[in-house]
Amino acid sequence: MAKLQRVRGTYDLYGSAKKKTRQVERIGEEVAEKYGFEEIETPVFEFTEVFARNLGDTSDIVTKEMYCFSDRGGESLTLRPEGTAGVVRAFVENGMQQNLPVKFYYHGPMFRYERPQKGRQRQFTQFGAELLGVETPQADIELIAMAYEFLEKLGLAGEVTVEINSLGDAESRDAYRRKLVDYLRAHYDELSADSRERLERNPLRVLDSKEECDRLVVENAPLYADSLNEASAAFFAQVLAGLDLLGIKYRVNNRLVRGLDYYSHTVFELVTDKLGAQGTVLAGGRYNGLVEQMGGGAVPGIGWACGVERLAMLLEKEPESPRPVAVVPVGDEALPAALKVAYELRRAGVPVEQGYGGNLKKRMARAARANARAAVIIGGNELAAGVAVVKNLDNGEQKNVPLENIAGELK
Ligand code: ATP
Ligand code: MG
């Protein structure tokens, strides 16, 4: 059977849905640039190693979600499942450590082999930001504030909650891991099969589990906050104080650990209750060990990424595009004049709806469908007088305007 259909989990975006995703990306760019971030574009595929090494070999992404393939030269390549690994690879490879801090934003397609459902696709778009080279909580506060303002500008601030937690430094993380493993071992029989396996490989991930039986166990698990050493607790307190100062509301969620291995200290998610199980629209955290792991020296980093389609689904209406002007020739002899007027209007910045055929009635109906604000009607009489009828389609008023003044009149 011929497969002339889109692959499961991929979508054709057009019309209102495309306008909404574009709006999300545009506002993201605008906000990020205001915060001093510059755009970076890294390749859509990388050596598999770039992701396998960085995301950790126990993460869901690496164990079951990557699109890997061998190219004709026999290299193992992977379609990028997320943006941070590629940005950090580019940072190290281009020697950007010389000029810190480095602040990048990006957007583009990501690929994950997941079970498709509402808000979960196999090709989706992320918009993300990374800040490299700042060790202090100022960076954490700035990134969360930027994420919050981004959603505010999209009109979604009222619908999302900032959830935040601290994983602390390596010492705190080890201490917590030990306590958690002891606790989970004592409840081994109650855990799901997946979580029993996680217990050995990456116990923190059990906290993330969506299985009901795991959730019951996790409810009484030791609290992360009790394992933070003094320095880590002080760092987290400063991040929260910064958010308080800016009036950004948050909820400390002790169970929030995030799926990737590279996080330390602050992790956060912006969550809505509108998308069911796919309620996380934006997520991020600090990754102080990642650059070093890539061979780039001890450069701290922090970043976030959001699902552009998930955010677009929350937008009630698409952004309004400017209303066009319809150019309406009556009879073939008016076509050249209409062509010229349309060209001049467009060059003057006026969007033009140009009917490609049909009589006056058909063309006026099309103008109404396009929500045109005015029609420029050019018939035989007008042509002879070197004018066109400019009709305001909202109030029906009309007047004759010399052909060469039309662009000026409608600008
Ligand atoms: P989830 O728990 O939903 O699987 P995640 O932890 O895998 O999310 P991240 O890797 O942190 O997600 O990606 C950041 C954001 O990208 C998510 O919050 C979400 O909005 C979006 N995202 C992730 N995976 C998908 C997907 N398969 N389809 C659409 N959007 C996605
Ligand atoms: Mg996932």
What is the torsion angle, in degrees rounded to the nearest 10, for the CA atoms of residue 149, residue 207, residue 234 and residue 100? -60
pLDDT of residue 322: 92
Asked if residue 163 has its Cβ within 6 Å of ligand 1, the reply is no
Cβ atoms of 145 and 157 within 8 Å: the answer is no
* Residues of each domain in the chain carrying CATH 3.30.930.10: 15-169+229-314
User: What average pLDDT is seen over the chain?
Assistant: 93
Q: What is the pLDDT of residues 111-122, one digit of tens each?
A: 999 999 999 999
| Residue 258 Cα to ligand 2 middle (Å) | 10
pLDDT of residue 179: 94
pLDDT of residue 245: 98
Token pair recorded at residue 382: 């007008």
pLDDT interval class at 338 (50, 70, 90): very high
The ligand placed nearest to the CA atom of residue 121 is 1
The span from the CA of 411 to the CA of 409, in Å, is 6
Residue 2 scores a pLDDT above 80: no
Q: Is 325-410 CATH 3.30.750.24? A: no
Residue to mutate, 126, 160, 209, ligand 1, most ligand atoms under 8 Å from C-beta: 126
Asked if residue 208 has its Cβ within 6 Å of ligand 1, the reply is no
Long-range contacts for 179-184 (Cβ within 8 Å, ≥24 apart)?
179/222, 179/227, 180/204, 180/206, 180/207, 180/221, 180/222, 183/221, 183/222, 184/217, 184/221
* Residues of each domain in the chain carrying CATH 3.40.50.800: 325-410
The span from the CA of 188 to the CA of 146, in Å, is 41
pLDDT of residue 259: 65
pLDDT interval class at 319 (50, 70, 90): confident
pLDDT of residue 274: 82
Residue 5 scores a pLDDT above 90: yes
Question: Residue 158 has what DSSP assignment?
Answer: G
Q: Identify the three-state secondary structure at position 304.
A: strand
What percent of the chain stands above pLDDT 70? 98
Asked if residue 121 has its Cβ within 6 Å of ligand 1, the reply is yes
| Residue 73 Cα to ligand 2 middle (Å) | 31
Residue 402 scores a pLDDT above 90: yes
Long-range contacts for 67-76 (Cβ within 8 Å, ≥24 apart)?
67/111, 67/112, 67/113, 75/47, 76/47, 76/48, 76/49
Q: Which residues pair with 131 in a beta bridge?
A: 103, 302
The ligand placed nearest to the CA atom of residue 124 is 1
Return the ligand 1 atom nearest residue 208 CA.
Answer: 2
Q: What is the pLDDT of residues 69-95, one digit of tens each?
A: 999 999 999 999 999 999 999 999 999
Asked if residue 46 has its Cβ within 6 Å of ligand 1, the reply is no
Asked if residue 302 has its Cβ within 6 Å of ligand 1, the reply is no
Residue 262 scores a pLDDT above 80: no
Cβ atoms of 269 and 46 within 8 Å: the answer is no
Chain-centroid distance of CA 320 in Å reads 21
Asked if residue 259 has its Cβ within 6 Å of ligand 1, the reply is yes
| Residue 114 Cα to ligand 2 middle (Å) | 8
Query: What distances in angstroms separate CA 311 from CA 2, 48, 126, 180, 285, one per listed residue?
Result: 34, 29, 10, 34, 19
Asked if residue 124 has its Cβ within 6 Å of ligand 1, the reply is yes
Amino acid identity for residue 93 in this structure: E
Taking alpha carbons only, the member of 365, 262, 303 closest to residue 101 is: 303
Q: What is the pLDDT of residues 143-195, one digit of tens each?
A: 999 999 999 999 998 889 999 999 999 899 999 999 999 999 999 999 999 89
Residue to mutate, 7, 124, 154, ligand 1, most ligand atoms under 8 Å from C-beta: 124
Q: What is the pLDDT of residues 231-242, one digit of tens each?
A: 999 999 999 999
Fold of 15-169+229-314: BirA Bifunctional Protein; domain 2 (3.30.930)
| Residue 345 Cα to ligand 2 middle (Å) | 48
Residue 1 scores a pLDDT above 70: no
| Residue 170 Cα to ligand 2 middle (Å) | 24
Residue 35 scores a pLDDT above 90: yes
Asked if residue 309 has its Cβ within 6 Å of ligand 1, the reply is yes
Cβ atoms of 351 and 324 within 8 Å: the answer is yes
The ligand placed nearest to the CA atom of residue 10 is 1
Report strand pairing: 301-307 vs 280-286: antiparallel
Asked if residue 310 has its Cβ within 6 Å of ligand 1, the reply is yes
Q: What is the pLDDT of residues 264-314, one digit of tens each?
A: 899 999 998 887 777 899 999 999 989 998 999 999 999 999 999 999 999
Taking alpha carbons only, the member of 311, 10, 6, 278 closest to residue 118 is: 278
Residue 62 scores a pLDDT above 90: no
Token pair recorded at residue 324: 């066009």
Closest C-alpha residue for ligand 1 atom 29: 120
Residue 340 scores a pLDDT above 90: yes
The ligand placed nearest to the CA atom of residue 257 is 1
The DSSP string of 59-108 is: SHIIIII-EEEE-TT--EEEE-S-SHHHHHHHHHHTTGGGS--EEEEEEE
Taking alpha carbons only, the member of 370, 369, 367, 357 closest to residue 389 is: 367
Asked if residue 221 has its Cβ within 6 Å of ligand 1, the reply is no
Q: Mean pLDDT, to the nearest integer, of 404-409?
A: 94
Q: Identify the three-state secondary structure at position 132.
A: strand
Asked if residue 390 has its Cβ within 6 Å of ligand 1, the reply is no
pLDDT interval class at 109 (50, 70, 90): very high
| Residue 173 Cα to ligand 2 middle (Å) | 22
The ligand placed nearest to the CA atom of residue 163 is 1
